[in-house]
Amino acid sequence: MRDIVRPSLHFTPQKGWINDPNGLVFFKGQYHLFYQYNPYHDNWDSMHWGHAVSRDLIHWEELEPALVPDMPYDNDKNGGCFSGSVVVHDDQLFLFYTGRTEDETGIFETQNLAVSKDGIHFVKAEENPLIKEVPEKGGRDFRDPKVFFAQGKWRMICGGSTGRIEHPDSCGRIYLFSSTDLYHWAYSGILYEAEPGEGRMFECPDAFCLDDVWFLTTSPMYEKDSVTTLYLSGQVDFDKCEFHKEISGTLDLGTHYYAAQTYPVLHGEIRSVAWLGGWLWMPWIRDFGPEEGYRGILDVSRVWYLDDNRRLCAKVADKVKAEMKLFSRTLEKHWTGENIPPQSEPVMVELKGKLPGDGELLCIDLYDTDRHTVTICFDSSNKEMTVNYNRADRASRYGIRTVPCEMMEKETDIDILIDGNTFTLLWEHGLYRYTGKLYPQGNIGVDIKYRTKRHYDITSLGEILIDFTGKKESERQTLSYTQNPGGAPANVVVAAQRLGAQTAFIGKIGEDFLGDFLKETLDKCGVSTEGLISDADYFTTLAFVKLADNGERNFAFARKPGADIGLKAEEIRKDIICQSRILHVGSLSLTDELSRNAEFIALKAAKNNGTIISYDPNYRASLWDSQEEACKWMRSILEYADIVKVSEEEIELLTGYTDVRKAAESITEYGAKIVLITLGEKGSFVYLQDQQEAYVSGYSSKVVDTTGAGDSFMGGFLYKICESGKRIEEYSLQEMIECVRFGNAVASLCVEREGAIPAMPVMEEVIKRINS
């Protein structure tokens, strides 16, 4: 179990599960916070209303649950006392909530009330349910009453839908009711119905007014852009049940910000609290995280206001900010960046100044003690911000999220808030907000620097194919073959991607089910397939692999012609290469003139762009007409390569030497800055252009299959090169040894499993192997 640091400013329960906030009010000298709660387990089940009190919105005391599912209209293991809201009236607390039950005929959601005179004991109204059924024909979902006073009456809005949530044509709804006494509610109509793509069902609706502008907010299910909190601004006539929408947007652009609910404070200020969580129907949510004993975090108090252009903005409440350790930095043209180590207390980093221009990014790494990293980059020229989770802890790998944002040309401001395992960014005076949740080892540090604009760490070009691996099934030597994705260049980028690099692949597959399988494999691994071509004129390339008892391999190829050698020069995505820090290539594309020309086009584009070129001359005798021709073309790449990796078995073929030092030295004469020679179970030999050298021992392995061993080594080595951000000429021998040692560890794990791509390890396994 990871040592996950619990936030100190964000509210978390001592035990159990929490999700939506259900109200925050000031009553009898204290703030009262209510929320969805399961006090018995750290999973969603039989919802109660949790209850906590505070005098400063920072330090909270948990009380007994305010609402317990104990009535026929709310007592259900798969339902309970669902979300709602709280108002203060006649020196009493009025808690409005949805009671949810279900039976074999479907679900039943009703709107109910509980009242408290002391803020401790709550009595459910005898009139319950106040609203017994969905007021109009549509979906059966009807929940989350938000009650507020506006235009002379009490108003209640509830979320709903036009149809079943699982139906793509369903659209969210906000129903409106009105009352004069909080007990008897008249239906007014549908205040708003979603436009196509705005969400199939509206959960947790809210309404508030800033400077005569009304805002309706909701958490839409299945919104087309995966927005977690939608806002709609305009003018409202509640008596006529009319809402005139002017602008729409999101309260937060991040992965974890749901069910936001506002509450008014003195002088008309509007604040909000939200659940920092998500549901399994969201594309990036795989589970509810690895916390033990509790699950769920509520956001700190967020203040909403309109800027001079009447745009919705947010800031952190002053009381919250006062509790954080402050780091203020000025962005300047030649600023070299700064690292803020993990702190034991909540942190706010304030950045002000001018963002870098074309060709550079402002990048912020959030990292833990195991160097799991989330990278946030601001690109002023493309007017976007990206958050790359591919190197985050294993539970937080949500992919890459890109959000458009207008950045000020002269000067900007960015606030970064870190509290335990949460982070929030507010920039352009709070016009944009991004909130996330991680599961790091220990506290989170912040590393800020300017970086050259690169979209990918590593791009591979070459073959991707099916490895059919043979295995004896009987005494009669019968072989059965297992289908695995493979191909050396593809193996390399998958290995690096599994470790957290951002990678892409350029190549060709057939327009067949095997090609579909390969593309799907890369997509699932997170490798960009922008440059992968599907071509109906070719079959996907096949390789049949026979394993010896010691794990060594013999190959036979079905490739006359295979799709991998059908790649044409005009199909090379030079833009991807020019956005990559490293281009990795092999030699199998050189066996055919068509794909050979394509590879040279790619190499020239990389060389002209300053992209590092990595080369693995992977010799397969059966694919060449002669050994002489193979040597000729394999050596032709050396003049382009900055990094060359070659196996001990191939050095004589490539260089004419059997001695690893002489072979490596001869390769550097072509211009290579780093030569790596893999030595099997003995480890690796590294040789630098300045004649420094070292043998780096390997790790003990129980060898099952050596397919992909060298590729996994290369993927690990290139990942470490990208991780530092240094130019390869700047590496010391000792730093290079550490990169090689890391590659050795990756390879030692790969050979313990069958296949190539399926065998690539993740970061936690590699760290464990190194530490062992």
Instruction: Quote the pLDDT of residue 384.
Output: 87
Instruction: Quote the pLDDT of residue 609.
Output: 85
Tokens 């979300």 sit on residue: 83
Tell whether domain 16-318 is in CATH 2.115.10.20.
yes
For the segment(s) 459-771, the CATH number from 3.40.1190.20, 3.40.50.1010, 1.20.1090.10, 1.10.600.10 is: 3.40.1190.20
Closest CA to 433 of 580, 267, 302, 524: 302
Q: Which residues of the chain have pLDDT under 50?
A: 1
Q: Dump pLDDT digits (tens) for 42-70.
A: 899 999 999 999 999 999 999 999 999 99
Q: What number of other Cβ atoms are within 10 A of residue 313's Cβ?
A: 18
Rounded Cα–Cα distance for residues 678 and 651 (Å):
10
CATH superfamily of 324-453: Exo-inulinase; domain 1 (2.60.120.560)
Instruction: Quote the pLDDT of residue 269.
Output: 87
Rounded to two decimals, the pTM is 0.67
Contacts of 736 (CB under 8 A, 6+ apart): 674, 686, 688, 694
What percentage of the chain's residues is helix, strand, coil (to nearest 5)? 20, 40, 40
For the chain, the domains span 16-318, 324-453, 459-771
Rounded Cα–Cα distance for residues 516 and 501 (Å):
24
Instruction: Quote the pLDDT of residue 303.
Output: 95
Point out the catalytic residue in the list 3, 20, 181, 625.
20
For the chain, the average pLDDT equals 91
CB 511 within 8 A of CB 486: no
Instruction: Quote the pLDDT of residue 161.
Output: 97
> In this structure, is the dihedral angle defined by the CA atoms of residues 529, 677, 582 and 584, taken in order, positive or negative?
negative
Instruction: Quote the pLDDT of residue 409.
Output: 60
Instruction: Quote the pLDDT of residue 470.
Output: 65
Residue 3 known to be catalytic = no
Instruction: Quote the pLDDT of residue 514.
Output: 92
Instruction: Quote the pLDDT of residue 391.
Output: 72
